Chains A and B, each alone.
Chain A
Amino acid sequence: MIRRLVAKELTELRRDGRVLGSLVILLLLGMGAGFSAWQQARVQHQAWHAASDGEHERWLGQEAKHPHSAAHYGVYAFRPPGPLAAFDPGLSPYLPVTVWMEAHRQNEALYRPAQDSGSAGGFIPLSPAIIVGTLLPLLLLLLAAPMISGERERGTLRQLLAQGVRPERIVLGKGLALAVLLLLLLLPLWLLAFAALLMTGAQGDVLLRWLLTGLAALLFLGGFAVFCLLVSACCRQTRTALLLLLGIWAFGTLVAPRGVMEWAEARHPTPSALDFRQAIDGGLADGAERERRIQARAKALLRQYGLDDLDDLPVNFNAVRLQEGEEHGNRVFDAVFGELHDGYLAQERWLQGAGWMAPFLAFQALSSGLAGSDLLHFRDFVDSAEAHRRMIQKAMNDAIYLQPETDGRRYVAAPELWATIPTFDYRPLATADVMAFYGPGWTALIAWFVVPLLALMAVSRRLAP
């Protein structure tokens, strides 16, 4: 009986040219957007490869010089595109691609925060994630709104019920027909993404991300379809159901993201550029702690070697001064930047939490997170680059430390020293860490699936003609 119900729905939809037309248009749009985003990601990927290699060559090609000069020579760290950036470029287009790694230069001012993305000319690129997040729900809405209210309005629901059909069965048939349509729409996109991933040699963790992204899309769209059926089951007229759902859709995808972004900013305000600069300059200017540490190191070294004069030490005390200065800067930046970063992540978490209000927000957060184009990944990249920068400084200072400049001649390191520095090889976060951060988003999506489903089950048992 269920098969008959589903088959009839699909026959009707098939014979409705508009449905077929919009399905084809959406599929083409999705493929086009996927292809262009894939191209873009590939270009970024290639540029990243070439640039990373080039940067390392440039670093290795330095002539013999003092290690601190090398530390000031600097290298760029290039950010690779997220593993699924072709599906969801997320914040990526608004975030810097490079981080400059040089002595005393903690990664400052490179962190262009989330609010920039909102004001970036108002242009939203049509990515597959945007299509799945906004256009597919719109299509589902247009298909689902008349499903039950239309039968009621036309009087066929009455006739069905008079035939002794159990109302839950009717609703189930509609739901399954929608599910078939949904799979018809999602599967091609999903499999195309899989093929593209295989072509780029992705494996393991990335495939897991692909699987989870598909799951998130199914949950989001499935929940929305159920919600549409619920509204349709409660409305006497299709017009009412359509208007209601369109309003909810517009609120969820157009109004809520903006509002919630501002709300998040109000809850966890971003410090102004001026306050931020002042906090850093203030911290750096206060060198008392650094001096205390340098004095302590000096005393300890003199005691260790039983000497009175730093110039007599068998090690280079300048290296200690340099390293302490570096670490002083690190402490100040870790404190001030840490606060800024944490503020951004708190905003991001707040956005996820707002998924309770509009599931689109939860889906958006999850998809950009799984794609690796969110703030969480960006912060991880910046942190890795900063760690790499610190490693370079430490290696250079350690080399200086071992070369006392007793005869007044500056130490010149051989190029072999540069080769001890590995390439900056950034690996995106493990999927498990991403999942841990996005727990609230998943819960919201699941709730948006389960609650309407329970409500629909309750309503359908008492479906009135």
Chain B
Amino acid sequence: MGESEYLNESVLELIGLRKRFGDHQALEGLDLKVPAGSCYALLGPNGAGKTTTLNILLGFIEADAGTARVDGVDVQANPAKARTRIAYIPEQVQLYPRLSGFENLEYFHGLGSSEAEPAARLRDCLNQAGLAEGDCDRRVAGYSKGMRQKVGIAIALARRAPVMLLDEPTSGLDPQAAWELNNSLRSLAKQGVTMLMATHDLFRAREVASRIGILVNGCLQQEIDPAEVAGPELEARYLQEVQQALGVQA
């Protein structure tokens, strides 16, 4: 197998995913592939089905139809095995309020990996995520939303998984932290980590992603190579897609 072939191989593969909640069709045959070592940004209005897609990849909800593969593992068949390949930053990072940020990281990380990690490396992850040194050992009960988000990012970074799923990772982050996160993601991609990121931040998506998909009503409307479009044009195309799709529906 040649190197270029390997790079083109899809680590995340979604084929014909469908999911219905009651009488609402959340996903309507979603096809999506993310090659190894690249970052895919999923844009779309609220309720488009971004979180649902990530939930299916995590095995938290079962798709009605279609296949989801993570690093070659069929999620429906073996969700536990698929999860061992994934690091995940949820839409809302939830932590144990009575533990400190560091203790939370230590706990989540310790449970997720078989080998013990030196405390110094875990602290590095917190720093990399942008949490101030002085905040690491305070109880999470006193954290701001962005501080919690940073701990969530640190948990995902520490995991060193081949796949990273991010659900609006920059929500609540100050610009400085968002910028640092983008740097981290770019260096992760260089290390071969495959990323799928749901986001509303067009600007950051263009900076970090190697491919952008616009999801509306559970359907991928358009895929864009960010290298080929400028910021304003991306926004225009996004708005056009959304309005068109919603207009068609109405």
Interface residues of A (CB under 8 A from B): 1, 4-5, 8, 11-12, 15-16, 154-156, 158-166, 169, 464-465
Would you call B96 and A162 a contact (CB within 8 A)? Answer: no
6 tightest A-B contacts by CB? A163-B112, A155-B94, A164-B83, A162-B88, A15-B98, A164-B84
Closest Cβ–Cβ distance, residue A2 to chain B (whole Å): 10
Given A163-B112, A164-B112, A8 contacting B80 (CB threshold 8 A):
no
Closest Cβ–Cβ distance, residue B64 to chain A (whole Å): 17
CB-contacts of B86-144 with A (<8 A): 86, 88, 90, 92-96, 98-99, 103, 107-112, 139
Neighbouring A residues of B69 by C-beta, 8 Å: none
Q: Identify A12's interface contact among B83, B90, B96, B110, CB under 8 A.
A: B96
CA distance A460 to B138 in the complex (A): 32
Q: Identify A1's interface contact among B95, B103, B111, CB under 8 A.
A: B111
CA distance A163 to B80 in the complex (A): 10
Closest Cβ–Cβ distance, residue A146 to chain B (whole Å): 12
Q: Can you name the residue of chain B whose Cβ is closest to the Cβ of A8?
A: B107
A/B pair count, beta carbons within 8 Å: 66
Closest Cβ–Cβ distance, residue B98 to chain A (whole Å): 4
CA distance A212 to B94 in the complex (A): 44
Is there a chain A Cβ closer than 8 Å to B41's Cβ?
no
Q: Identify B94's interface contact among A12, A159, A166, CB under 8 A.
A: A159
How many chain B residues sit at the interface, stated as a range, is 20 to 34
Neighbouring A residues of B99 by C-beta, 8 Å: 8, 11-12, 15
Would you call A163 and B98 a contact (CB within 8 A)? Answer: no
Would you call B80 and A158 a contact (CB within 8 A)? Answer: no
Neighbouring A residues of B95 by C-beta, 8 Å: 156
Q: Can you name the residue of chain B whose Cβ is closest to the Cβ of A1?
A: B111
Known: A155-B94, A159-B93. 7 other contacts (CB 8 A): A8-B99, A15-B99, A154-B94, A155-B90, A160-B111, A162-B90, A165-B111
Would you call A16 and B98 a contact (CB within 8 A)? Answer: yes
SS of A interface (majority): helix
Mask, B66-93, CB within 8 Å of A = 1, is: 0000000000000010011010101011
Q: Can you name the residue of chain A whose Cβ is closest to the Cβ of B93?
A: A159
Would you call B112 and A12 a contact (CB within 8 A)? Answer: no
Is there a chain A Cβ closer than 8 Å to B58's Cβ?
yes
Sample (28) of A-B pairs whose CB atoms are under 8 Å apart: A1-B110, A1-B111, A4-B111, A8-B96, A8-B107, A11-B99, A11-B103, A12-B96, A12-B98, A16-B98, A155-B90, A156-B94, A156-B96, A159-B88, A159-B108, A159-B155, A160-B108, A162-B58, A162-B88, A163-B83, A163-B108, A164-B80, A164-B83, A164-B84, A164-B112, A165-B112, A169-B111, A464-B60
